[in-house]
């Protein structure tokens, strides 16, 4: 079982890879809309990648109003 | 289609539709690859009537208000039907608002019943705003887990009366819905839409884009939005068509739904349409150069052959590989909620996928003009719908002025806001605040906004005054939020941005710390409400006797600044 820290790191790694930003440039508190310059649709695409990676289903409503990596990671963690 | 001229209310028309089309499929609900529901109109009635009866048993009566805060799904429409059957007024709220904002609107609307989903209720129930909305006495929650703590609320699935509900008639001029067009700040704008507004709008729209049994509408825009309420609920229902709901809006499942359910119509906001365009364009760009040339030639042939009108069968044969992923049944993509760029509309039309762009606002009962595709025009928002009188007020030498509209679809007013209503509707004419002119063919062209607001590509109306609270305690002398195009009119409907006008304290400078402070506060706003830059102003803001900022006067003074130099991106 992953810890929340591990999950958070994997979310950051995957986001940096998916959106081509340097590894290590993202931190848990970052607002991913702003830091990655993405819109809500691109966020949904990122969620699909995260679901595949973690082997979970993350309903759209779970990420309603979420804009930072740490909260996103905690939502994922609760479903692992 | 039912003859709507015979009906007095939405509820009466829907009631007859459930009988008339009893054996037709009315709802399909899919969650990823799993189909969760497939209901005929008869099934729908069997679900909705017990709910209507339970509401009546609990004392819900004619004119009582019930709010729905749900994502698009079958229970949304079943609940709405039950409210109308019981003579109620529906208050559809945006599920994407924050819980505090939702409570604020619940309070403002005077709703006594709230129907919502468990994940939304989980957030609403712990929100501080809850205490303010004491008017909400009944809460029905769908899909709550078995062991969920539902203190004070009831499970939607178990909220059922045991006998037939009485149908409660309403008059055409009675309010059917209170729809919030914007604003959760100081002055929420609750548009009071009458039964007549919806009945007339439905007749006008279906005269151009008809629904019938067998037609399938993919409901993606939130159903609380005026467009989806009309073309994803009332319109299809009174014609016996089917509505398809998806419980996830991941692009891969949306794509799959088109072919799986042979979708006929879909409504999208411009942002989604543009993303779809990008995806298709990327696919075309990957073609080897030989194939690309052939493909471009076929597109050119299709464009020539469809110049005067769409020829769907022909386009589907010519561009089979493009149409197959869309299910090969798509008649039109309805785009609304915000302004769509002409090149995007043309891109789809050239591929044989007509985009029904139009122009409307909640206050006008959804659509005012629509492109009738006879012929397709990407550079306008189409001609006025039947029954709509549209005129240009105080046109300049170039013919451009404020668009005003008069019709039976115009709202009766803003809830509890007679002054705002009087500003918006003058002698029956709704002043839209949008600038436009008619061309020789009678098509309306839009040229920006007269009012201090923006509409995002996702179709969100943002009024600057609604978002000022987060900047209130900034360590500056004073601040005020504006739509950049309101200050410096661009004669454009796209690329709208918000800015923060700042008046610094004497001797204070715009430092990196201050910029960071603004940025941090900005990040607390939902992403579509964020400001894009700062403008520094060196004088006191003009104020009224009660010390409110005179926005118009300040805007006039800011207008004298050079936009390129004054706008400091955040």
Give the total number of structural domains in chain B.
2
Following CA atoms B219, B221, B224, B228 in sequence, which dihedral angle do they give, to the nearest 10 degrees?
-60
Between residues B129 and B237, the one the model is more confident about: B237
Check CB contact under 8 Å for A59 and B95. no
| Inside any domain, residue B435 | no
Is the Cβ–Cβ distance between B72 and B219 less than 8 Å?
yes
Q: The CATH number of the domain where B57 resides is what?
A: 3.40.50.12780
How is chain A split among helix, strand and coil, in percent rounded to 5? 60, 0, 40
Nearest residue on chain A to B458, alpha-carbon basis = A40
- C-alpha Rg value of chain A to the nearest Å: 11
For residue B217, being part of any structural domain is answered with yes
Cβ pair A48:B71 closer than 8 A: no
Q: By residue range, what is the domain housing residue A47?
A: 4-77
Cβ-in-10-Å burial (0-12, 13-18, 19+) of A69 comes to buried
Query: Min CA distance, B96 vs chain A (Å)?
Result: 7
Q: Compare CB distances from A39 to B271, B523, B526 and report the shortest one's residue.
A: B271
Percent of chain B whose predicted confidence (pLDDT) is above 70? 99
Question: What average pLDDT does range B295-324 have in this prediction?
Answer: 95
Would you say residue A41 has pLDDT above 90? no
Across the interface, do A45 and B458 touch by the CB < 8 Å criterion?
no
Q: Residue B127 falls within a domain, yes or no?
A: yes
Domain stops at, among B216, B236, B260 = B260
Residue B407: asked if its preceding bond is cis (omega within 30°), the reply is no
Instruction: Using a cut of 0.80, tell me whether the model's pTM lies above it.
Output: yes
Q: Which of B96, B120, B527 is facing A67, going by the closest CB pair? A: B527
Residue B344 lies in a domain: no
Q: Is residue B147 assigned to a domain? A: yes
> B565 is written with which tokens?
């130099």
Phi, psi of A22 (to 5 degrees): -55, 135
Boundary of a domain, candidates B207, B233, B260: B260
> Which CATH number covers residue B481?
3.30.300.30
Chains A–B, number of C-beta pairs less than 8 Å apart: 47
* pLDDT of the residue at A65: 73
Last residue of a domain, one of B236, B260, B284: B260
- Tens of pLDDT, residues B48-82: 999 999 999 999 999 999 999 999 999 999 999 99
Q: Which of residues 4-23 of A touch B (CB under 8 A)?
A: none
For B508-547, the pLDDT digits (tens) are 999 999 999 999 999 888 778 899 999 999 999 988 776 7
CATH number at residue A71: 1.10.1200.10
Total of domains in chain A: 1
User: Which domain range does residue B249 map to?
Assistant: 4-260
Identify whether B50 is part of a domain: yes
Note whether residue B525 is domain-resident: yes
Could you report the per-residue pLDDT of B132-153, keeping only the tens digit for each? 888 999 999 999 988 888 888 9
User: How far off is chain A from B521, nearest CA to CA, in Å?
Assistant: 12
pLDDT reading at B184 higher than 50 = no
Residue B210 lies in a domain: yes
Instruction: Say yes or no for a CB contact (<8 Å) between B527 and A33.
Output: yes
């Amino acid at each position: 079982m992953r810890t929340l820290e591990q999950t958070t790191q994997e979310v950051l790694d995957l986001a940096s890879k998916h959106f081509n930003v340097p590894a290590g440039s993202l931190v848990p508190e970052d607002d991913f809309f702003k830091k990655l310059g993405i819109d809500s649709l691109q966020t949904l695409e990122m969620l699909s990648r995260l679901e595949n990676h973690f082997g979970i289903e993350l309903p759209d409503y779970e990420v309603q109003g979420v804009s930072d990596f740490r909260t996103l990671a905690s939502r994922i963690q609760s479903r692992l | 289609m039912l003859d709507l001229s015979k009906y007095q209310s939405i509820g009466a028309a829907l009631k007859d539709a459930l009988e008339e089309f009893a054996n037709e499929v009315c709802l399909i609900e899919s969650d990823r690859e799993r189909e969760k529901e497939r209901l005929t109109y008869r099934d729908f009635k069997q679900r909705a009537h017990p709910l209507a009866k339970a509401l009546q048993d609990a004392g819900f009566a004619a004119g009582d208000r019930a709010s729905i805060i749900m994502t698009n799904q079958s229970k949304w429409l079943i609940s709405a039907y039950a409210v109308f059957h019981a003579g109620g007024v529906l208050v559809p709220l945006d599920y994407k608002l924050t819980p505090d904002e939702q409570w604020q609107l619940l309070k403002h609307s005077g709703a006594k019943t709230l129907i919502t989903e468990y994940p939304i209720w989980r957030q609403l129930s712990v929100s501080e705003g809850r205490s303010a909305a004491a008017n909400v006495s009944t809460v029905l929650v769908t899909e709550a887990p078995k062991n969920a703590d539902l203190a004070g609320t009831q499970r939607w699935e178990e909220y059922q009366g045991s006998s037939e509900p009485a149908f409660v008639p309403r008059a055409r001029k009675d309010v059917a819905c209170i729809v919030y067009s914007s604003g959760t700040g100081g002055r929420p704008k609750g548009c009071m839409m009458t039964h007549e507004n919806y009945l007339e709008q439905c007749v006008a729209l279906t005269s151009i884009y008809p629904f019938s049994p067998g037609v399938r509408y993919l409901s993606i825009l939130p159903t609380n939005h005026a467009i989806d309420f009309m073309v994803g609920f009332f319109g299809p229902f009174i014609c016996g068509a089917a509505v398809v709901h998806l419980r996830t809006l991941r692009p891969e499942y949306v794509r799959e739904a088109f072919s799986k359910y042979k979708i006929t119509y879909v409504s999208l906001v411009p942002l989604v349409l543009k993303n779809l365009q990008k995806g298709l364009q990327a696919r075309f760009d990957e073609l080897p150069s030989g194939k690309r040339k052939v493909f471009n030639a076929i597109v050119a042939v299709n464009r020539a052959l469809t110049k005067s009108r769409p020829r769907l069968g022909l386009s589907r044969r010519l561009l089979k590989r493009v149409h197959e992923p869309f299910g090969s049944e798509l008649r039109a993509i309805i785009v609304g909620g915000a302004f769509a760029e002409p090149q995007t509309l043309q891109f789809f039309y050239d591929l044989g996928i007509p985009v029904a762009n139009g122009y409307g606002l909640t206050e006008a009962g959804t659509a005012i003009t629509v492109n009738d595709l006879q012929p397709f025009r990407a550079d306008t928002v189409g001609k006025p719908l039947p029954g709509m009188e549209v005129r240009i007020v105080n046109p300049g030498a170039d013919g451009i002025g404020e668009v005003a509209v008069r019709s039976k679809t115009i709202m009766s007013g803003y809830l509890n806001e007679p002054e705002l209503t009087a500003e918006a509707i003058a002698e029956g004419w709704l002043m839209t605040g949008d600038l436009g002119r008619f061309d020789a063919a009678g098509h309306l062209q839009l040229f920006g906004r007269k009012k201090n607001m923006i509409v995002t590509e996702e179709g969100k109306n943002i009024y600057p005054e609604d978002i000022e609270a987060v900047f209130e305690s900034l360590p500056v002398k004073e601040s005020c939020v504006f739509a950049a195009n309101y200050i410096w009119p661009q004669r454009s409907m796209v690329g709208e941005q918000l800015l923060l006008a700042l008046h610094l304290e004497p001797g204070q400078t715009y430092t990196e710390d201050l910029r960071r402070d603004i940025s941090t506060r900005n990040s607390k706003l939902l992403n579509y409400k964020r400001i894009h830059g700062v403008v520094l102003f060196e004088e006191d803001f003009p104020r009224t006797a009660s010390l409110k900022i005179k926005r118009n006067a300040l805007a006039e003074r800011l207008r004298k600044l050079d936009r390129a130099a004054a706008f400091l991106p955040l």
